[in-house]
Amino acid sequence: MSENITEITEEVKKKSAFVDEIKHEVGKNIIGQHFMVERMLIGLLSDGHLLLEGLPGLAKTLAVKTLAKVISVDFNRVQFTPDLLPADIIGTEIYRQNTGEFEVKKGAIFSNIILADEINRAPSKVQSALLETMEERQITIGGKCMKLPDPFIVLATENPIEQEGTYPLPEAQVDRFMLKVKISYPTKEEEIEIIKLNLSEEKNEVKPIINANQLRDAKETVKKIYMDEKLRTYIANIVFATRFPDDYGLSSLKAKIQFGASPRASINLAKAARAFAFLKGRGYVTPQDVKSIGYDVLRHRILLSYEAEAEGIDSDEIIATIFNNIEVP
């Protein structure tokens, strides 16, 4: 087994050489936000969609656009608004009078990377159309079933401070996002660099580092990364602790959790941990990989009780308690 892991690690080191190049290229336009860029790469490598939550002006949109250029794939941006219709996203049938036939007009969803900007500004019908597409990776229009391109990833942004004119995402549908990433303010040093970059007359043009075929190849390598049986059990214990905290000596959490994480949490935690190991150039997953990515996988899948909200407790505190108490293999 150790020989196999060594071989996989060598393959991972070779196939993940582009990671640092991508980070460097994205860094030409994005100062800081290394955490966000890393999470976007994890989503791409494990076919997972991301929900990016952050205040205005934190380069969420710019980061997604820049990443699409660097990996040389098709990109579409959809600004979600209250008057947006499902057909604006998935497409519709148009009647051609000259031929007397209906023709499918594809929507913005037919692209490799979709930026759903301010997803919580559109009503639930539009959100549902997008989220169903995320799960099925195909669309049916006029009886015709059409597959979406590979790779296909949705990066949705939402502003956490505005309530007027917004529609909260349904809890059950938020579960379809692999990661929920919280974007924070830059440091003072980074902000000084941001000012300098934006005042400069020279614009940094980013160049493609990889293409869709190379990305697909990297995804196949990620699937080979070794995960021990004990780590799979560790992941299951973490997720089950959100559902049955009493069984893990966490009785204090029982009144604070209304609903625990779904089986998607276990699946996505394992997938994301392998992608994280790939970014670090390893052919095997460690418990620290699971912890490093765990908050982003679990925070939107734990539904807090009214008691927890009244006490000002958020899901990250619940996750921290679980990680501190579940035995590490």
Asked whether the predicted pLDDT for residue 3 surpasses 60, the reply is: no
pTM above 0.85, yes or no: yes
| CA separation for the pair 274, 272 (Å, rounded) | 5
Q: Are 270 and 222 within 8 A, CB to CB?
A: no
Fold of 225-325: Helicase, Ruva Protein; domain 3 (1.10.8)
| CA separation for the pair 126, 188 (Å, rounded) | 38
Delimit the CATH 3.40.50.300 region(s) of the chain. 29-193
| CA separation for the pair 181, 183 (Å, rounded) | 6
Asked whether the predicted pLDDT for residue 239 surpasses 70, the reply is: yes
- pLDDT for 173 equals 74
| CA separation for the pair 238, 319 (Å, rounded) | 9
Three-state DSSP class for residue 176: coil
Asked whether the predicted pLDDT for residue 132 surpasses 80, the reply is: no
Phi then psi dihedrals of residue 117, to 5 deg: -80, 125
| CA separation for the pair 255, 305 (Å, rounded) | 7
CA separation (Å) from 292 to 35, 316, 317?
Answer: 11, 13, 15
Asked whether the predicted pLDDT for residue 302 surpasses 60, the reply is: yes
Q: What percent of the chain has pLDDT over 70?
A: 96
Per-residue pLDDT, averaged over 75-93, amounts to 85
Delimit the CATH 1.10.8.80 region(s) of the chain. 225-325
| CA separation for the pair 300, 175 (Å, rounded) | 7
Q: What percent of the chain has pLDDT over 90?
A: 29
For residue 328, what is the DSSP state? P
CATH annotation of 29-193: 3.40.50.300
- pLDDT for 165 equals 56
Structure tokens at 139: 């669309």
- In this structure, how many other beta carbons lie within 10 angstroms of the beta carbon of residue 307? 12
Query: What value does the mean pLDDT of the chain take?
Result: 86
